[in-house]
Chains A and B, each alone.
Chain A
Amino acid sequence: MSERVNFHFEIDGENFTSAGEASVRIKKHLRDMGFSPDTIRRVSVAMYEGEINMVIHANGGSADVDVYVDRIEITLADKGPGISNIELAMQEGYSTAPDNIRSLGFGAGMGLPNMKRYTDNMKIESEVGKGTTIYMTVNV
């Protein structure tokens, strides 16, 4: 018996102006569903970082948020270049973002570390040349 509500988003890799919109929508949904501000913040921050990464580094992808009674699962999947050294990518401050992206305030190299910090569980599956899928769970 597992009640589940799914929210699915396609993340546009071209559009910097709408980057983060899926996360803002999820925040609203979770608030309507009565989750605590802390849970909502953790889910939406982790998802935002993942969403931005797909826009900056992978030319877009998809995001799925599965809401259960006791947890929220976030799955981010892209067909981008993949991450060759995940351990390195996870380090605070490591970033391959180009200068034009940095000038917008991105590329601090804090995205993946934030995702880890704000969730209870995070798993990265990535293959160079094929893409990246990130699974995150926030326990309620």
Chain B
Amino acid sequence: MTVKELASALDCKIACMPDESREITGGYAGDLLSWVMGRASSGDAWVTIMSNINIVAVASLADTACIILSEGVIPDDGVVEKATEVGVNILMSQLDTYALCASIFKLI
């Protein structure tokens, strides 16, 4: 499933989607950046409530397929610009982290 397909299946809002055809191969949830950096796999949909600029570098370096901000969180100023520049997809969901992960699990 691509990021674009996942976004529509989950009814997510799109903050930016510079790489919409990126394939999603798994998922990871977490807000501690070093945990995510060390444990998330390439191709994961990364679910977090962290909205600051540093999530862009983490997603880029851990090579996740997209960031999904849960719980209605929206990205801080400047995050979307940076993510677009480096090719990181960011989606937004109203679901809480548990419900969102459960939905992703069913879809992929």
A interface with B by C-beta (< 8 Å): 16-17, 19-21, 23-24, 27, 37, 41, 44-45, 48-49, 104-106, 108-111, 113-114, 117-118
Contact = CB atoms under 8 A, between A and B. Distances in A.
Contacts of A118: 38
Interface in B51-71: 52-55, 57-58, 60-63
A108 B32 contact: yes
A24 B54 CA distance: 11
A24 B78 contact: no
Nearest to B50: A105
B34 interface: yes
- Is chain A's binding surface mostly helix, strand, loop or mixed? helix
The bracket for how many chain B residues form the interface is 20 to 34
A45 B35 contact: no
A119 B37 CA distance: 14
13 contacts: A17-B78, A23-B61, A41-B62, A48-B37, A48-B61, A49-B37, A104-B33, A104-B50, A104-B52, A105-B48, A105-B54, A108-B33, A110-B34
Contacts of A49: 34, 37
Contact of A110 (B35, B42, B55, B63): B35
B35 A48 contact: no
B31 interface: yes
B86 interface: yes
B52 A24 contact: no
Nearest to B52: A104
B90 to A, nearest CB: 15
A113 B37 CA distance: 12
A42 B54 CA distance: 18
Nearest to A26: B61
A114 B38 contact: yes
B88 to A, nearest CB: 10
Contacts of B57: 19-21, 23-24, 48
B61 A117 contact: no
Contacts of A41: 42, 61-63
